[in-house]
């Protein structure tokens, strides 16, 4: 059951990533890979929020794994980030490559933290205590 759920959620996450990437690339025509940066930061935000939202909840394991591993795992992409960084370096766009790595790492951490903070704020709003 869990394998099927992760697979189905993975298909959904990959399709969302593809659609969002195509949409961003229709208006962003520059060498900097903004689409992947936005997608990865958005995925970090959602996973940060989701991970801490389900703490001490009765979220079933199949949904937790399907959403976190399947949907968000296929939505975000480390391999594309790596290849795009190498492409920038091979094209002589060293500053873009440096900025891409820096923004991806710091952005991922920042948006994960933001997702966590949003989760804490939402829990306080509904009166759920958190173990921090």
Q: Is 65 left (phi over 0), alpha (psi -120 to 50) or beta?
A: alpha
Q: Report pLDDT digits (tens) over 18-38.
A: 999 999 999 998 899 999 999
Query: Distance between CA 94 and CA 90 in Å, rounded?
Result: 8
Give the per-residue pLDDT at 105. 98
Residue 59 is assigned to a structural domain of this protein: yes
Residue 130 is assigned to a structural domain of this protein: no
Residue 131 is assigned to a structural domain of this protein: no
Q: What is the mean pLDDT of residues 46-71?
A: 92
Query: Distance between CA 35 and CA 50 in Å, rounded?
Result: 22
Range of the domain at 71: 2-125
Give the per-residue pLDDT at 115. 98
Query: Distance between CA 56 and CA 86 in Å, rounded?
Result: 41
Q: Give the residue among 79, 75, 78 at the shortest CA–CA distance from 15.
A: 75
Lookup: tokens for 111: 């948006």
Residue 110 is assigned to a structural domain of this protein: yes
Give the per-residue pLDDT at 56. 72
Q: What is the mean pLDDT of residues 88-105?
A: 98
Lookup: tokens for 15: 């399709």
Residue 70 is assigned to a structural domain of this protein: yes
Residue 38 is assigned to a structural domain of this protein: yes
Mean pLDDT of the chain: 93
Does residue 129 register a pLDDT over 70?
Answer: no
Number of domains present in the structure of the chain = 1
Residue 132 is assigned to a structural domain of this protein: no
Give the per-residue pLDDT at 126. 65
Angle at 44 between CA 77 and CA 19, to 5 degrees: 50
Residue 54 is assigned to a structural domain of this protein: yes
Q: Give the residue among 93, 95, 116, 127 at the shortest CA–CA distance from 46.
A: 116
3-state secondary structure of 126: coil
């Amino acid at each position: 059951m869990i394998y099927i759920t992760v697979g189905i959620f993975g298909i959904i996450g990959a399709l969302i990533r593809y659609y969002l990437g195509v949409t961003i690339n229709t208006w962003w025509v520059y060498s900097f890979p903004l689409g992947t940066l936005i997608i990865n930061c958005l995925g970090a935000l959602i996973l940060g929020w989701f991970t801490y939202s389900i703490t001490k909840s009765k979220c079933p394991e199949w949904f937790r794994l399907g959403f976190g591993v399947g949907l968000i795992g296929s939505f975000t992409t480390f391999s594309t980030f790596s290849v795009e960084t190498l492409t920038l370096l091979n094209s002589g766009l060293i500053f873009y490559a440096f900025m891409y790595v820096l923004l991806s790492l710091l952005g991922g951490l920042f948006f994960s933290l933001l997702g966590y903070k949003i989760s804490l704020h939402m829990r306080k709003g509904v009166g759920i205590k958190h173990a921090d």
